[in-house]
Amino acid sequence: MNKFTVRDIDFNGARALVRVDFNVPIKNGKITDDTRIRATLPTIKNLLESRARVILMSHLGKAKGSPDPQFSLKPAAERLGELLPGVTVKFAPDCIGDEVKKMVDSLNAGEILLLENLRFHKGEEGNDPEFAKKLAAWGDIYVNDAFGTAHRAHASTEGVTKFLSPAIAGFLMEKEIAIIGKALSNPERPFYALIGGAKVSSKIEVLENLLKIVDKLIIGGGMAFTFLKAQGVAVGKSLVEDDKLEVAKEILKKAKELKKEIVLPTDAVIAAEMKEESPEKIVDINSIPADMAGYDIGPKSIEHFMSVLKDAKTIIWNGPMGVFEVNKFAKGTFDVAKLLAGMKATTIVGGGDSVAAVEKAGVADKMTHVSTGGGASLEFMEGKILPGVAALTERSSCGSCSCSGSCH
């Protein structure tokens, strides 16, 4: 990655305006999963050790341009304070305005100020220049450590860089780009992709891009049924996107032209309904009754996938193999997670559901890398340029930044 990072800059006494991703689940005012907060700690600790004055900004939830107490970041500030004992973590009642200015001006080196939810202002998602300029006023140096929002050109991820330079990557951003980027551009082979989830429509570009790069492509989850039906397999009431059958046929055709193998399930766990109390059974993939649907891959599929993956040197996994939220349909996803956890290959897990699956299976720490970016990791795998990454300062453009040579 040819972008400046926090290790390149002297922050002593400087105001570091840091975009983090504290979009965490909160129930009854309590954070139920602080993974994203903990993921930013290496960058925050580095800034504190460098005697920076740290101003953090983030969004949370589905706030639509006006204050909403249920989406306040105050619980995140409290949790961050617990994770950084001995460090002063202050919380601002807004992200712009006179009160925020007073708090920023009074911030001492080694202290943290977390701004209130950016999306309480329409200017954030609208990438409004005036709003971005007001945010930029709080910092001397901009740091983006929020890979999960890097696919959005918002005021805090792209607009602010037009008013504040240098714009540099935090350690989490650097790690995401480096690991996923290497897998896509220069992987150790054999390189296989394991793609699941419900719908083909959400991953067409991922499949098309990965097909050009990987040695084999394994498809599971609900989306597999669209590919199976495209091959003439009767799949009963299983989830199928009929309007994407031609797309599936084109991807299968392209795979043949490229001499790339697409691996599909050979059996399935089926039931009349997607409910815990609905009786299930295992059938071969071409024996699904008309009144039943597949909700997980079966044991033969798991065994086959394992045999395909055994010689892999690099694996990207995105999307569960079944409806893992329902216990009786979770075995395929959890068995795949445990398989990857035990491999010597580079294993990269991307996408919200995949991340939730490896965490629920208790093997997240056994993976080489678990991405914090759902939509961002998907778009990265599609081969797209992420606005939040593109906006960061290139090393070759150092003469245009305001670091006074400290980043050399």
Active-site pick, 36, 79, 175, 229: 36
Q: Give the HSE-up count for residue 266: Cα atoms under 13 Å, Cβ half-sphere.
A: 9
User: Angle between the 331-341 and 299-309 helix axes, to the nearest 10 degrees?
Assistant: 20
Specify whether the CB–CB gap between 213 and 255 falls below 8 A.
no
C-alpha to C-alpha distances, 103 to 114, 135, 171, nearest whole angstrom:
10, 14, 26
Specify whether the CB–CB gap between 375 and 387 falls below 8 A.
no
d(C-alpha 250, C-alpha 244), whole Å: 10
Looking only at Cα atoms, what is the longest distance across the chain?
70
Six-digit token string for 374: 């759902």
Using alpha carbons, select from 93, 66, 83, 67 the residue that is nearest to residue 31: 83
Catalytic residue flag (residue 405): no
Specify whether the CB–CB gap between 117 and 60 falls below 8 A.
yes
Catalytic residue flag (residue 38): no
CB neighbour list of residue 32: distance below 8 Å, 6 or more residues apart: 24, 25, 26
Active-site pick, 90, 162, 182, 199: 199
Active-site pick, 352, 373, 374, 388: 352
Helix (H, G, I), strand (E, B), or coil: what is residue 112?
strand
User: Angle between the 41-49 and 171-185 helix axes, to the nearest 10 degrees?
Assistant: 130
d(C-alpha 3, C-alpha 389), whole Å: 9
Active-site pick, 61, 81, 126, 375: 375
Q: 19 forms bridges with which residues in the sheet?
A: 57, 144
Catalytic residue flag (residue 313): no
Catalytic residue flag (residue 298): no
Pairing of strands 267-271, 293-297: antiparallel
d(C-alpha 171, C-alpha 178), whole Å: 10
Q: Tell me which residues are annotated as active site.
A: 36, 199, 352, 375
